[in-house]
Amino acid sequence: MNPKAQCIICNRNQNVSKTLPLCRNCILEKFELCKEKILESHNKTREIFGLSPLELLDVSTESSISCQICARKCKLQEDTTGFCGIRFRISDTIRGPSKDHAFVSWYLDPLPTNCVADWICPGGTGCGYPKFAMRKGPEYGYFNLAVFFEACNLNCLYCQNWHFREPRRRKILRHLDQILQAMTSQVTCLCFFGGDPSPQAPFAINLSEQALEKRKGKILRICWETNGLFNKSFLDKVIEISLKSGGIIKFDIKAWHEELYIALTGGSKRKVFENFQYIAQFFNERKEIPLLTASTLLVPFYVEEEEVYQIAKFIAEINPEIPYRILAYSPQFFLRDLPLITKEKAYRALELAKKVGLKRVSLGNEHLLR
């Protein structure tokens, strides 16, 4: 961490990033004073990749049209692009990827893999055998077909998979048949991540249904690793697909406080938490494999014990059986001047999550702790 960086509001706290020179206390207690700088920080990082400024997409006018694909519902003026960068308005029409084409890439990932849910999923543990798993333990010799969606509806300043934004990675629309052809007989997982699958949900749902039809009578789990910003109209289908296939819906919950959520991601937490609560209603419909799980990345000085405690409490009050994983920080993207998280903070966060009543809590990426 650069010792010269300090909060531009209080001029005292050194625990900040140069990209977001605002301390946690000021973000929470003096948010109105911080808003302009938060907006500036996000817009600078987006401009580099040719993405629209935040403020243009949340203003509704008589001439704007609301995109209905994800929960952000960007308000698009003519000749403007949505937050995700892949949906745009021409005249009175919003265009972008379809249910048959998407901006995606994919690869075969040997099981057990380093998935956020590997500690509770059939591919990593054998839970759900024999209906949803090939064996009673880890599925060595089998594969996860990992489908990476090259667009996102958040702007996390510490994004761990930010490289898809690079202009040199020219976006090419792929047809779902190309992915179906990559499904060998050894594929037992189809996992959507990114970026995020929610800005291209129609494609992900169509691909899931066709993949399950192709592998009818055989094990193929459909999983979603997401920030949770699905349009509610797609959620029932996502839940149905996951329940039927033995898959897991994995929410990356960034922070508890709304002000901190906005400062770090450029988006609100409201729809994320609403969607999480909605999916949790179906949790007990399949006992052998958790339908829903959550994770939180510890971000030094911003997302530490207090945020984890509040998120864990929120989850426990819904259902204490929902698994929760705390992840160690890796300095990435525009917050790479922050340090690794300490072991002491990570283990305190872990204990706090258990203290509120959660029955299944785990700490991941421990090799990154200092």
CA distances to 232, 240, 322 from 285, rounded to whole Å, are: 20, 11, 13
Tokens of 211: 């993949």
Tokens of 270: 């409201």
pLDDT at 4: 62
- The pLDDT mean for the chain works out to 94
CA distances to 40, 92, 207 from 226, rounded to whole Å, are: 26, 30, 17
**In angstroms, rounded to a whole number, what is the distance separating the alpha carbons of residues 138 and 110?**
11
CA distances to 9, 33, 103, 224 from 87, rounded to whole Å, are: 36, 32, 11, 21
Q: What is the pLDDT of residues 255-283, one digit of tens each?
A: 999 999 999 999 999 999 999 999 999 99
Q: What is the pLDDT of residues 177-211, one digit of tens each?
A: 999 999 999 999 999 999 999 999 999 999 999 99
Query: Which residue ranges form the domains of the chain, and what is each CATH number?
Result: 1-48 (no CATH), 101-368 (3.20.20.70)
Position 170 pLDDT exceeds 70: no
Evaluate whether 290 touches 320 at the Cβ level (below 8 Å). Answer: no
pTM above 0.75, yes or no: yes
Q: What is the pLDDT of residues 297-321, one digit of tens each?
A: 999 999 999 999 999 999 999 999 9
Range from 87-96, 132-141, 228-237, 349-358 carrying the lowest mean pLDDT: 87-96
The residues, any chain, with a CB within 8 Å of residue 80's CB and separated by 6 or more, are 52, 56, 57, 88, 89
